[in-house]
A and B are shown apart, each in its own frame.
Chain A
Amino acid sequence: MTVTPLGIPRRLLEFTIDGEPVRAPEGSTILDACRSAGKDIPTLCQGDTLTPKNACRVCVVEVEGSRTLVPACSRKAEPGMEVRTDTERARHSRKIVLELLASSVDLSTTPQVAEWIKEYEAKPDRFGPDAARLNEEPKIDNDLYVRDYDKCILCYKCVDACGDQWQNTFAISVAGRGFDARIAVEHDAPLTDSACVYCGNCIEVCPTGALSFKSEFDMRAAGTWDESAQTETTTVCAYCGVGCNLTLHVQDNEIVKVTSPHDNPVTHGNLCIKGRFGYQHVQNRG
C-alpha cells in the first residue's frame, strides 16, 4: 500500500492576489498560492523538486511595500501581503527578461517560451544583429548525453541536482563570471575526466534542453525527433530492489529517452546510470 505523507497540519495565511483574498498554508510561496488560485506565472529556473534559486527573474510580481519586484517562486507568502501579478511593471520586467534570454540563448527547445514571448510581446531582435550571444558548440564527449550550453539559461538546476540537493556528486559548478559564466566540470575538462556518475539527474531538471540524451540530440539533428509520435510508459526499474519508477519515451518502437516521475515520494525523479541509460538490452532483438 502506498502511504502518502500528509505532514503536520499547517496554519492558513490570508492575503490578497490581484485584489482577491486567498488562503495558503504557512510556508507556501507566492507562486504556490498563485497556482492554487489558477493564475499562471511564467517560470524557467523554478523546479518542482528543487529549492528555488530565483535566478531567471521571469516570475517577478509586485508586492505592496517592496521597493523592487519580488520573485514569486521563492518569496514566502505572508499574512496581509498584497500581491499583484499582472501590473505594467511586472509585465515589463518579464518581457525584458524574455528578450534578454532569447537574444543571447538558443531557446528553440525550451517548452512554452514561444507562447510567453508572444504573450508579453517580447522582441528579442531589437538588440540588433550584433547582440552578444553565448556562441557555444555542443559538447559531445560521451555516449550517453550531450551538453549544449548554447541553450543554457544558467538556471543552476543541474548544479543543485548534482550537488547537495540530490545526487551529492558535485561534478558540475558555475565557472567564470557575468555573461561569461558557464556550467562546467573541474578545469572545464571533458565529462569523461570529471566526477560525473552519469545518473542523468541534471537532464531530468534541465528546463531548456541544453542537457539531453545523446539519442534525442542525434534524432533532433537528423530531424527525426517527433514528440507527438512518442508514447510514455511508466514502469518499474528492474535493476535493483529500490524500485524506482521509469518513464520510457518510445518512438517507432525504440526507447529514445528515460525520465522518472517527479511526484514519486521516494525518488523525486532521480535515477542512477542503470535506470536512466541502461535500456539497450530491451532493444536487442536477436
Chain B
Amino acid sequence: MDLHFGDSKPTDEERAAVDALLGPPQSSWEGADRSDADLRWARGGREARERRDLLLPGLHAVNDRVGWISEGALDYLCRRLTVPPAEAYGVATFYSMFSVKPRPATVLHVCTDLACAAAGASELCAGVEARLGLGSGVSVERSPCLGLCERAPAALAVKAGDPVRTAVSAPATIESAVLAGSAPDSAPEEPPAAMAVPQAGDPSLVLLSRVGVVDPTSLDDYRAHGGYTALRQAFALGPAGVIREVTDAGLVGRGGAAFPTGRKWQATASQPDHPHYLVCNADESEPGTFKDRVIMEGDPYSLVEAMTVAAYAIGAHKGYLYLRGEYPRALIRLEHAIDQARARGLLGDDILGQGYAFDIEIRRGAGAYICGEETALFNSIEGYRGEPRSKPPFPVEKGLFGKPTAENNVETLVNVLPILTLGAQAYAAIGTGKSTGPKLFCVSGSADRPGIYELPFGATLGELLELAGVRKRLRAVLLGGAAGGFVRPDELDIPLTFEGTRETGTTLGSGVVMAFDDTVPLPRLLLRIAEFFRDESCGQCVPCRVGTVRQEEALHRIVERTGADAADDIALLREVGQAMRDASICGLGQTAWNAVESAIDRLGAYE
C-alpha cells in the first residue's frame, strides 16, 4: 500500500496520546524522525495493517486527550497504523462523540431523548446553553439517549485531558449540569447502580441478586455470593454440555431480536474455521434502555464470568466487549473487574487450572446507535465505518475479522450463569413455555419508581407498571424503545413475553417500558423518534438514509395538525415506512417506522 500523507504534524500532546496507546514508533516509516537506517529497509506494511483495529482506540486516545481530532493527529495515527488518511477521516467523522473541528476541551452531552424530553430536557438544554455560551470552555451538545432514563433528565460531561474526566448529572438541574460541565472533578458522585434497582435486595431476584448486595469492585465479594460456581459447572459439563444446557433452558437473545442462544453457540462452535471469537454487545443505545449499564456497574464480574463460559462453549480464546462510549462508569468497573480476574487466574492462559485460555478486551464505541447492529459492531471493532454488512454470510460463519463469531447482548450472557447453577430444567420452569427465564425491564417516564425490574416472563404490562408506581392519567406506553411500538393504557393486560407481545402486534424489543402521561404531546415524541433515526442512520442504503429524512419532514409538517389535514402526510409516511421496512439493509431502517406506525394505528395520534 503506497499511502499519501499530508504535511500536517501532530502536536506533542497528540503524539504522546497516540504513543501511549501504540508505544513509540519504531522507524520513520511509522512516524519517527528519519534516520540513515530508514533508507535501507522499510518496516511496517503488513504488520502495521494487522493493527487496523486499533484505529478506533487511537481516535479515542486523541479525542480523550485533546477533545478533538486535528489533521496532524489523524495523519500521525494513520502513519502509525498504515491506514489511508481518507478512510480514517471517514471513520472519525462517523462517530458523534468525535470532532474533526476544534472545540472546547469539555463537552457536555445533554440528553434530549424520550424519557428526558418528557422530564423537561428542552428547558434544561436552553438553560444550560444560556449559561455555558461561547468562551465558557464547554461545548454543549444535544444528545440521544444517555441510558440514564431512571434519573431523567440527564447530562454527561467529558473533559479531555490526561486522564480524561467525566461527570454525570442526573436528574439534572440547570445548576447541577452547569457544575458538571464546568468542573467535572468537583461534581458530586453518582449514586450507586443499585439505586436504579427498586427491587434491590429482594431474595427472589436471579439476574439482579447481587446488584446493591455485593461490592462491585470486589472479586472476593462476588465469589462469596455465588460467583464463579457457573464457570466451575461449565468446566464439569464441557463445551458441548454447556451448549446443551443453554439450548434446553430455551434462552433467547435479550438484545431485541430474540434469537435462540444455544443455536447460535452451536453454529459457531461447529465451524471448522479458526479462531472463533466471542463478542459481547454492550453498545446499549436503544432509547430507554439502561439494563446492561446497571448490570455492568452493579455486578461487573458476572459479565466477565458469563463471557468466559460462553467463550468456553464456542471454543473462543479471545473475547471483545464492545461498550458504548457514553458509559464511563461501566468502563471503569469492567476494566477493574477484568484486571482483577486476570490477576487471579480467572482470565488468561490457564483459567482455574483447566488449561483453557481466554481473555477479554474492551472496545469503546463513540456515539453511534448503528454499532449495536451485530455486523456494524464488527466493522467498528475492525477500524472501519460502523456500517452493517449484508447477510448472508451470517456472523456464526464470517463475523469479526471474517471468522466465526458468537455475539451476545449483556443480559443474554448473564442469563447463562443461573442456567448453569440452577440447571436447565429449573431455569426453563421460570417464565412461560415459549419465553423462559427472568427478564429485565427498563421502566422510565411517568412512574414514581422508575428503574430496572426483574420479572419472570409472563407478568403483564399492568403488573410491571403497578410495581413501578405508574402515575395517573397514563396516555401511552412505549414498548421496546424507538424501534418498538406504543400501546394504549387499556392494553395493560398484555403479557410481557416474546410470543404475547407478538400476538398483540407489538414487541418486547430490549425490554423498554416507557410510560407517558397526557401532559406530553404525542406528535412531539414521534418527531423526536424520527429525529433519532435520521441522526443515527449510517447512510449506506437509500431507503433508510433518505427515508428517515422524509419521515421526519412529514412528521414535522403535521406536528400541529389532525384529521384530514394530516391524512396526506400519513399516507406518505405509510408508503415510505413500508419501503424502509422491506428494503433497508439492517434492522435500523427496517424498524424506523414502527413506533410512528403504532402511534397512528393504536393510539390514534393525529385523529
Name A residues whose Cβ lies closer than 8 Å to a Cβ of B: 54-58, 60, 68-69, 71, 74, 89, 92-93, 95-97, 100-101, 103-104, 126-128, 130-132, 153-154, 156, 163, 168-181, 184-189, 193-195
Extra contacts, 7 of them, besides A55-B540, A171-B84 (Cβ < 8 A), are A57-B583, A68-B582, A96-B583, A156-B540, A174-B385, A186-B86, A195-B3
Q: At the interface, yes or no: B90 with Cβ under 8 Å from chain A?
A: yes
Alpha-carbon distance A130/B96, docked complex (angstroms): 26
Alpha-carbon distance A216/B247, docked complex (angstroms): 63
Q: What residues of chain A lie closer than 8 Å to B585, measured between beta carbons? A: 54-55, 57
Q: What residues of chain A lie closer than 8 Å to B557, measured between beta carbons? A: 128
In the complex with contacts A96-B547, A174-B90, A69-B583 CB distance below 8 A: yes
Q: At the interface, yes or no: B159 with Cβ under 8 Å from chain A?
A: no
Nearest chain B CB to A133 CB, angstrom units: 10
- Cβ–Cβ contact B549 & A176, under 8 A: no
- Cβ–Cβ contact B583 & A97, under 8 A: yes
Q: What residues of chain B lie closer than 8 Å to A130, measured between beta carbons? A: 553
Q: At the interface, yes or no: B93 with Cβ under 8 Å from chain A?
A: yes
Alpha-carbon distance A103/B572, docked complex (angstroms): 14
Would you list 9 pairs from A and B whose C-beta atoms are within 8 A, ordered by A residue? A55-B585, A60-B583, A68-B590, A92-B575, A97-B542, A101-B546, A171-B84, A175-B90, A186-B85
- Cβ–Cβ contact A57 & B543, under 8 A: yes
* Shortest Cβ distance from A172 into B: residue: B86
- Checking A71, A89, A170 against B390 with a beta-carbon cut-off of 8 angstroms, the contacting residue is A71
- Cβ–Cβ contact B100 & A187, under 8 A: yes
Q: What residues of chain A lie closer than 8 Å to B535, measured between beta carbons? A: 178
In the complex with contacts A54-B390, A68-B583, A92-B579, A171-B543 CB distance below 8 A: no
Q: At the interface, yes or no: B539 with Cβ under 8 Å from chain A?
A: yes
- Cβ–Cβ contact B542 & A178, under 8 A: no
Q: Which residues of B53-106 are within 8 A (CB) of A?
A: 71, 74-75, 84-90, 93-94, 96, 100
Alpha-carbon distance A212/B581, docked complex (angstroms): 35
In the complex with contacts A92-B575, A178-B539, A100-B86 CB distance below 8 A: no
Nearest chain A CB to B55 CB, angstrom units: 12
In the complex with contacts A54-B390, A96-B575, A130-B553, A89-B582 CB distance below 8 A: yes
* Shortest Cβ distance from A57 into B: residue: B583
Nearest chain B CB to A118 CB, angstrom units: 18
Nearest chain B CB to A30 CB, angstrom units: 13
* Shortest Cβ distance from B70 into A: residue: A187
| Most B CB within 10 A of own CB, among A95, A97, A188 | A97
- Cβ–Cβ contact B541 & A68, under 8 A: no
Alpha-carbon distance A101/B584, docked complex (angstroms): 14
Alpha-carbon distance A132/B548, docked complex (angstroms): 11
- Cβ–Cβ contact A195 & B539, under 8 A: no
Q: What residues of chain A lie closer than 8 Å to B90, measured between beta carbons? A: 173-175, 184
* Shortest Cβ distance from B569 into A: residue: A128
Q: What residues of chain A lie closer than 8 Å to B549, measured between beta carbons? A: 104, 132, 179
Nearest chain A CB to B370 CB, angstrom units: 8
- Cβ–Cβ contact B86 & A184, under 8 A: yes
In the complex with contacts A131-B550, A184-B86, A93-B4 CB distance below 8 A: no
- Cβ–Cβ contact B86 & A170, under 8 A: yes
Nearest chain A CB to B352 CB, angstrom units: 42
- Cβ–Cβ contact B553 & A181, under 8 A: no
- Cβ–Cβ contact B553 & A127, under 8 A: yes
Q: What residues of chain B lie closer than 8 Å to A163, measured between beta carbons? A: 84, 87
Q: What residues of chain A lie closer than 8 Å to B546, measured between beta carbons? A: 100-101, 103-104, 179
- Cβ–Cβ contact A187 & B71, under 8 A: yes
- Checking A56, A97, A156, A187 against B89 with a beta-carbon cut-off of 8 angstroms, the contacting residue is A187
Q: What residues of chain B lie closer than 8 Å to A169, measured between beta carbons? A: 2
The interface bits of chain B over 551-570 (1 if a CB of A lies within 8 angstroms of the residue's CB, else 0) are: 00100010000000000000
Alpha-carbon distance A132/B460, docked complex (angstroms): 43
- Checking A69, A74, A104, A173 against B86 with a beta-carbon cut-off of 8 angstroms, the contacting residue is A173
- Cβ–Cβ contact A93 & B390, under 8 A: no
In the complex with contacts A127-B572, A178-B538, A195-B582 CB distance below 8 A: no
Q: At the interface, yes or no: B1 with Cβ under 8 Å from chain A?
A: yes
Nearest chain A CB to B285 CB, angstrom units: 14
Alpha-carbon distance A181/B545, docked complex (angstroms): 9
- Cβ–Cβ contact A128 & B553, under 8 A: yes
Q: What residues of chain A lie closer than 8 Å to B553, measured between beta carbons? A: 127-128, 130-132
- Cβ–Cβ contact A154 & B545, under 8 A: yes
- Cβ–Cβ contact B88 & A186, under 8 A: yes
Nearest chain B CB to A145 CB, angstrom units: 17
Q: At the interface, yes or no: B537 with Cβ under 8 Å from chain A?
A: yes
- Cβ–Cβ contact A74 & B579, under 8 A: no
Q: At the interface, yes or no: B194 with Cβ under 8 Å from chain A?
A: no
Q: What residues of chain B lie closer than 8 Å to A95, measured between beta carbons? A: 579
Q: At the interface, yes or no: B411 with Cβ under 8 Å from chain A?
A: no
Nearest chain A CB to B314 CB, angstrom units: 26
Q: At the interface, yes or no: B578 with Cβ under 8 Å from chain A?
A: yes
Q: What residues of chain A lie closer than 8 Å to B547, measured between beta carbons? A: 96, 100
* Shortest Cβ distance from B540 into A: residue: A55
Nearest chain A CB to B587 CB, angstrom units: 10
- Cβ–Cβ contact A93 & B582, under 8 A: yes
Nearest chain A CB to B15 CB, angstrom units: 18
| Most A CB within 10 A of own CB, among B89, B546, B581, B590 | B546
Alpha-carbon distance A69/B540, docked complex (angstroms): 16
Alpha-carbon distance A54/B541, docked complex (angstroms): 8
Q: At the interface, yes or no: B576 with Cβ under 8 Å from chain A?
A: yes
Q: What residues of chain A lie closer than 8 Å to B89, measured between beta carbons? A: 173, 175, 184-188
- Cβ–Cβ contact B583 & A185, under 8 A: no
- Cβ–Cβ contact A97 & B86, under 8 A: no
- Cβ–Cβ contact A179 & B545, under 8 A: yes
* Shortest Cβ distance from A71 into B: residue: B390
- Cβ–Cβ contact B86 & A57, under 8 A: no
Nearest chain A CB to B536 CB, angstrom units: 7
Nearest chain A CB to B569 CB, angstrom units: 9
Q: At the interface, yes or no: B138 with Cβ under 8 Å from chain A?
A: no
- Checking B3, B86, B543, B545 against A185 with a beta-carbon cut-off of 8 angstroms, the contacting residue is B86
Q: What residues of chain B lie closer than 8 Å to A97, measured between beta carbons? A: 542-543, 579, 583
Q: At the interface, yes or no: B528 with Cβ under 8 Å from chain A?
A: no
- Cβ–Cβ contact B74 & A186, under 8 A: yes
- Cβ–Cβ contact B550 & A176, under 8 A: no
Alpha-carbon distance A174/B390, docked complex (angstroms): 18
Nearest chain A CB to B87 CB, angstrom units: 5
* Shortest Cβ distance from B579 into A: residue: A96
Q: What residues of chain B lie closer than 8 Å to A132, measured between beta carbons? A: 549, 553
Alpha-carbon distance A193/B546, docked complex (angstroms): 31
- Checking B85, B537, B550 against A178 with a beta-carbon cut-off of 8 angstroms, the contacting residue is B537
Nearest chain B CB to A60 CB, angstrom units: 5
Q: At the interface, yes or no: B272 with Cβ under 8 Å from chain A?
A: no
* Shortest Cβ distance from B8 into A: residue: A187
- Cβ–Cβ contact B93 & A177, under 8 A: yes
- Checking B3, B542, B548 against A57 with a beta-carbon cut-off of 8 angstroms, the contacting residue is B542
- Cβ–Cβ contact A96 & B576, under 8 A: yes
- Checking A55, A180, A189 against B542 with a beta-carbon cut-off of 8 angstroms, the contacting residue is A55
Q: At the interface, yes or no: B210 with Cβ under 8 Å from chain A?
A: no
